[in-house]
Amino acid sequence: MKKKHIVLAGLSLILAACGQQNQTKSDTDFPDQVKAALSNGGKIDINGLQWTREPGGYEVKGDTILITTAPHTDLWQRTYYHFQNDNAPVLQMKTREKFFSFVVKTDFTQSHQRFDQCGIVMYLDSENWLKGSVEYENEKFQHLGSVATNGGYSDWATTAIPADVKTMWYRFSRREDDYCIECSTNGTDFSQMRICHMQAAADEISFGIYACSPEESSFTAAFSDMRITECMWKAHDGQQPD
């Protein structure tokens, strides 16, 4: 799908490039989306989301966002492969709230080429970001994993899952400047994927959704059931610090 979709005029705010928005909008133009959602039963105002790089195509249908990837789009910094890829589109909201969780359902039924992926992301800048996703590998298996990039170096923690899994829920939680990513196949029972500390994410952060196709490919990913809740990553109640 090469042609961009035309969405309703009322959703025009999400169609502007993030860089342009940052240059022309003040903080009051984009209120804290987490605080707003927590006071509105967890509902996220899609109009307040901002693009960091637009995808090959996109469409909004009710509370579902469709993102169509462009070929050779990715997020990775240096480690092992040595290359630096920083051109995947992300659609995010901003917050200074220190304790919350963000949940989203992803549908990647159309993924078909190695490394096609979609999921959650906290993209701060080209050298500091966190993501969780399922990456297509072949007709037998795919990779469920997460990447934390701190100071310009990425890691990849992953496990193989069956190729017939086509949907995945994610829950992204913040406790001050520590973060947790969880996943679920039913949207109710979540399993921990990663806990990490992000040095560049101690104050305001941007987080949301992304999709990309690192190789010669394009597919459409669907994101739905987005909501903000109180922090579901509870305080540690085991061994106390020394």
The structure tokens listed for 6 are 């035309």
Report how many helices (DSSP H) and strands (DSSP E) the chain contains, helices first.
Answer: 2, 17
- Average pLDDT of span 35-47: 93
- Asked, for residue 18, whether it belongs to a domain, the answer is yes
How much is the pLDDT for 30?
Answer: 62
- Asked, for residue 242, whether it belongs to a domain, the answer is no
- Asked, for residue 241, whether it belongs to a domain, the answer is no
Count CB neighbours of 181 within 10 A.
27
> Collapsing DSSP states into helix, strand and coil, what is residue 77?
strand
Q: What is the mean pLDDT of the chain?
A: 89
- Asked, for residue 240, whether it belongs to a domain, the answer is no
* Tens of pLDDT, residues 111-169: 999 999 999 999 999 999 999 999 999 999 999 999 999 999 999 999 999 999 999 99
Centroid of chain to Cα 118: 8
Residues facing residue 164 across a β-bridge: none
Q: Positive or negative, the Cα torsion across 121, 204, 228, 182? A: positive
Domain range holding 88? Answer: 9-229
* Tens of pLDDT, residues 176-210: 999 999 999 999 999 999 999 999 999 999 999 99
Backbone angles phi, psi at 29, to 5 degrees: -70, -25
Total of domains in the chain: 1
Name the strand (E) or helix (H) holding 24. helix 18-24
Q: Which of 133, 97, 131 is CA-nearest to residue 116?
A: 133
Q: Which of 171, 65, 167 is CA-nearest to residue 106?
A: 167
- Asked, for residue 224, whether it belongs to a domain, the answer is yes
Please state whether beta strands 153-154 and 191-197 pair in parallel, antiparallel, or not at all (unpaired). Answer: unpaired
How much is the pLDDT for 29?
Answer: 58
- Asked, for residue 36, whether it belongs to a domain, the answer is yes
How much is the pLDDT for 68?
Answer: 98
pTM: 0.87
Residues facing residue 213 across a β-bridge: 71
How much is the pLDDT for 157?
Answer: 97
Residue 22's domain is classified under what CATH number?
Answer: 2.60.120.200
Decide if 19 contacts 79 (C-beta within 8 A): no
- Asked, for residue 157, whether it belongs to a domain, the answer is yes
Residue type, 15: L
- Asked, for residue 61, whether it belongs to a domain, the answer is yes
The structure tokens listed for 98 are 């220190």
- Average pLDDT of span 7-28: 39
The structure tokens listed for 163 are 């190729």
The structure tokens listed for 124 are 């701060």
Half-sphere exposure for 212 (CA within 13 Å, toward CB): 25
How much is the pLDDT for 47?
Answer: 85
How much is the pLDDT for 31?
Answer: 79
